[in-house]
Each structure stands twice: as C-alpha cells, then as structure tokens.
Chains A and B, each alone.
Chain A
Amino acid sequence: MTESLPALVFLVPLAAAVSMPVVGHWKRSACRPLTAAAAVAMTLLAIASLCSVVAFGPVRYAVGGWQAPLGIEWVADEVSATMAAIASLVGLLVLGFSGPLGEASLAGRTVPYHTTVLLLLAGVVGVIYAGDLFNIFVFLEVVSLASYALVAVPGGRALLSAFRYLMIGALATAFYLLGVAYFYALTGTLNIADLAQRLPGLLESKAAAGGIAFILIGLAIKMALLPVHAWLPDAYAHAPNSAAPLLAALVTKTAILVWARILLWGIIPANAGAEQILYAVVSGLGIVASVGGALLAIRQTEIKRIFAYGGIAHVGLVMVGLGQSSTKATAGALYYLVNDAVMQAGLFIFAGVAAWRYGVRAIDDIAGAQIRNPWVIAPLVIAAVGMVGIPPTGGFVGKWNILLGTMEAGNPFAAGALVLTSLLTLGYFAPVLERIFRSQQASRTGELRGALGWPVRLSMAVPAGLVLGLGIFGDGLMSAFLRVVGGP
C-alpha cells in the first residue's frame, strides 16, 4: 500500500481534472467543492507518503509493474516527498483564496480554470516523483501547457504574455528533449539512476557534453535563470490573481528540482574529472542570476514584478548551492528550494489580496490604501524575513547551509554573492514594508472591496506558519535532506 502512495497522489487530481467538465456541465457550483476535495485528499496522501518515507525509507515505484531500468520508475525520497506535500498544500491554499476573489478575475471561466489547476498539480507531482528522463519531459509539458492556459485566462494583454511564454517554454522543452535524445543515443537508458551506472567513461565524449548542455539550456529557460528569464515577469504580472501563486510557487521550482535530480543522481555519481567544470558553470550561472535578479528587483515599481524578480534571484541562489562540491551546500539548496516554494506562494497570495481588496498594484498605491489588517501584514513581514534569510525562518536554515557549503568548497565568490543577494533582498522589501507602515497615519483614499473571510486568512497565514515552522523545527528535515544527497 505505502509504495503506491506516490501514484495515488498523482491520480487524485488527474481523475478530478478529467471528471471536471462533466461535473461542471451538470452543476457549475460543484466545481469548487470538487477541486477543494481533490486538493485536500491529495495533500493528505502526500503527507502520508512523506511520513511513510521518513519512517520506512525511500520508495521506488515501478509504474505498471515494469521494473526499472526498462520500465518507468518513480522515486519518493525525503526531498521529492516533501516537495510533493508542499505542492499539494500550495494548491489547496490557492483554492482557498481563489474562491472569494470571485469569478471576476476568471472572466466566467470556472470549469476550465479548475480543470487546468488540477492538471497543473498532477503534472507537478509527476515531475517531482519521476525518475526517468523521458517521463520528466512528458510531465514538464503537462505543467507548461496548464500554466500557459492559466496565464491566458484574463484575456487582453495577458494573451500576448501567454503566447510569448508558450513560444519560449515550448522551445525549452524541445531543447530538453534533444538533450535526452543525446543521452539516450549515448547510453541507451532513460532512467536517471541507471544513467549514473552507464555514464562513467563516456562523460568525456562530445555527445555527453552536448546532452548536458541542451538539458541545462532547456531547464534554465523553464526555471527562469537570469539571462533567459524574460518570459517570467510579464507572465506572472498578467496572470490572474488566483493563478499567479501556483505558477510562482511550483512551475519554476519543479524545473530546478529536475536539474538537481539529473545533476546529483545522474551525472555527478558518474564523475570522471568533468564535474569540477560542471560545478563551476552551475555556480557561475547561479551567481550571475542571484545578484542580477536582485538588482533588477530593486528597480521595479509594481509589486508583482518585485516578487517575480525576487523569485528569479532565489532561483540563482539555489543554483549556487547546487554548484558546490560540498553535500552541505546541495542539501541546503534543496531545503531552500522547498522554502522558496512556500515563500513565493505567500508573497503572490499577498500580491493578489492587495490587488483585489485594496486596489494596490504598484508600491506608490500603498500610501493611499492604508493596509491595516494584521492578517495581511504579518504574513508579508514573515515572508520577507524568510526571503532575506533571518532566523528563525526556513530561509535562514537553507541559506546558512549553502553558505557553510561554499566555505567548505572553498568558493569565496559564491559566498559573497549569497550575502550580497540577501542584502539586496532587504533592499527591495524595505520600500514595500516602509510604505505600508507609514501609510497607517494617512487617511485612506481608495475603497475596500470584499471581505477577508476565513479561507483567505488561512491561505495567507499557513505559508507564514510554514516558513517559521521550517526554520524552528527544520533540523530533522535538513538532516534527512543531507542523507538523501549522500552527506554525513
């Protein structure tokens, strides 16, 4: 039973998504309860899967009963099980918050919205668990197609952003597939663990270098690594409020997880002296992306764009961690990745509430809006503290381990970039927070819309609670991550 849990986590949203058009045709108001029920079931199953992994060790699920390396393998270790639980939880939170925002932001597309959200969640779970290069390709495409559709929902300007996102995203998956084809031609296997067995001795060949390069280019576009990030800010700024947190929290993060999996489980174990170059490339790309993303974030005036560029900077930080030869840094990077998903969800939920209830889109609007509700301010402050990396948040645990790892690996530039990015992060959160606190004295010029019901309050409070929880009770999880990447 416990070894089928990953498959169940995937099947629940898929089944709900497939049955959604029928249910929606019968009764439109039934869409939201059905989606919420699927998300709750998925979250419970994902947490059960995480508990069973922690208690009984990693699960390798052979899809259809065909054993790896011939069949497709799904791997549920501590990292992927945690990520799947976080992904399901974020899905649940976004649903809790999308209801009150109303049909307005969806332009009446209730049935397609719920269907695509569930498909996105199913695809994300698939990418997280899949241990097979081609299977990852298929699920990446499921995630991408769902996110193009979600970006396009409001119509108008968003359509063009969605189209550009689609062009770049589809090219990225084509490059990824080409890299997979190179590896397949070279080794005759698609299973990542099997790849590590067959690569030694072949890693110096041009085909392997080409495969790694194409996979990295494809995934770099998907994770919006700095020089190829241009699609992200537009897509996230124009996406509907009820979809942006999902995209920001899950889509880019799953691409980094895939890269971490291929790098740490496929290529590095097959080391043949080439890994030093690879580490240098990944770490260098990460340094550029983290500092560059943070600098760009400071220049933004629109709240969603600030958070979007902040997300780009944090993708760079995770890459810095993955590009160190110390296991402490890689485990820290994976831990930071989990945290980043939670923080991005919290930030974009805040941005959605600010736009919907207070009519605040740019930081200059804050002065007249007078955001006073502690349920809105406290989660933002906690998320900001987590993004900067101040204890006792999960962001601190991740960053601290990456920093220790860069020292261990003797990489002062990476350590410097990490510290610099943290300071710059403070630089783009300070104006937002400062304006919110200063506006308390002024009088409100705008009007409040809607009411903050319990679902919205909970979906703001839970990410904040998780950020704190991952910081205070994160030691156990952090040492589990260390075990997964093969450290002490």
Chain B
Amino acid sequence: MTKITIEDKEYPKQLKEIKNPPKQLYLEGNTELLKQNIISIVGSRNCTQNGEKLAKKFASELTMQKITIASGMAKGIDSAAHIGTMEAGGKTIAVLGNGFNHIFPKENIELYKEIIRKGGLIVSEYPPDTEAKSNLFLERNRIVSGLSIGVLVVEAAHRSGTSVTAKLAESQRRKVFVLPHEIDDKYGVGTNNLIKKGAILITSTKDIIDNFKSLKYIEFKEASTVNIDKNIKNKIQEQKINKTLEVRLTNKIEKEVYMLIKNGNKEVNEIAKKSNKSISEITNALLMLELDGAIKKIAGGYKCI
C-alpha cells in the first residue's frame, strides 16, 4: 500500500480539478492505471439480473476500446462492472468508501483480492482503519467520477445514491452516459430522470466513444490490435476446448453431450431428448464433464466453460 498526497506528481491530474479533491489517496495495486483514460460504471446495489448483464457487457466492450473501468466495489452494478472488466482481460479500479482493513461489503473481500491479483488498483482516501459509513460512500462517489472522463449509469432508482454520483459528475463537468429504461421500470426511474436533465442517452459502446474527440472507436471487424487480441483469446479458448476434447472426450456420449451444451441446450431433459440417450447415461456424462472442468452447473442447467 502506498500513500500519495495532492502535492505528489503521481496524484491524478483530473482529480485535482474537482471542487474538493481528496488531500491524500491510499493506493494498493497497479498505480499506472491512474494515467489511463478512465470511464466509471455505476448503478444500484439492488439491481436486476439484466442490469448486471448490461454492466458486464459495457465493461468488457469498453475494455476492448482500451478504456480502464472504475467503480465503487459495492454490491450489484459496481461488482458486475469490475467482474466484466476482468473477464475481458482488463484491469479495473475500485474506489472504496472505507479503509483497506475494513472491506465492505464483506462478501466482496474475494473480489477485492481478485482485482489486485488481476493487476487492478484499489483507491481510498481514508486511512486503512476507517470503518465503512454511509456518508463516506457518498463522498467516495466524487472520487469515482473525479478520476473518470465519463460516467456510465446503468440502473438507478428514484432518489438513489447513483443519481447523486451522476449529479456530482455533471458538476465536475464529466460526461454522464445513461442507458434508457421503460417508463414504468422502477429500476430506471433515476436513469430516465437523468436523461430528462440532459445526460447523454446511449445504447452502445460506440455511442460512448464517439462522445470523446480524443478517442477513436476501434472497429471489431476490421483488422486491429483488439481484433488480434480477440483472435488470440478465441484461439486459446479453442485450444483449451480441443485439449479437453482430445484428452477427456474420448467417450462418445460425453462428446455428444458437450457439443449439445455448447450449442445452447442447457437443460438435462433437452439434452437427453436430442441425443436420444437415457437420463442415466446423460447424468453420467454430465458428471464426468463437470469434474473435468469442461462444463459448469448454472441455474436451469449447464453451460460450457
């Protein structure tokens, strides 16, 4: 852990510009990330499955655009944003509203470790022994937006902390991006209100990138570094699959079951029906595949890893 003050040259420039910048920052992990273009993804702690999916989607797509994702490591959207970034192979910044010795919420201790392991950065303005308090979280939000060039609001209920962050971001002259929601969606009241007040409505990652003159959208289809990265990633994944297929899937039924799951048949009965095998044959194959790490149990069935 390192401590930097506002006088240090490592102190992020964009953070100095805000109205009440933190006098000191405690950092743990990869401090280089502070020099990157940062966009933060924020939203309700109490979010919907769909919100979580969208947070992950935008986090991973922005990562592909060489953007560093920051968030507040709270439950819900924040966690999804961090996880989505890391799943896309990116490094993420988490800004805490408490000291390093009192990670909150407790279930995110693993996430906290994972962020550091994956080359990310943890930021807090509070000394390590500061306990979590609700007012500190509101103050934390000004750092989240202060570090960023823009803030993406995924979900926000009426009068939520997320709306406050967005307001802060606006006063810091950061761009505020918002995903639109149905008008009677209670998880979207806050976001829709933000749009009414002039936030930028976006529906794709390109919309975000196009709002910055300094950034250029990297097309995925054209030959580009990102594309190559992705290709390599796909190849590695394919090799991994091939390896399991070769080593383990010498068994015909297992191979068939694996392919069926890969093609989106996740439910046991479905697999049994399509392969015309008995349930006991299928369960046998499923267990072997699962022990092998080729598939994983999820709600409603199985998916390939």
Bind each other: no
> Which B residues lie at the A interface, using CB under 8 A?
none
> Which A residues lie at the B interface, using CB under 8 A?
none
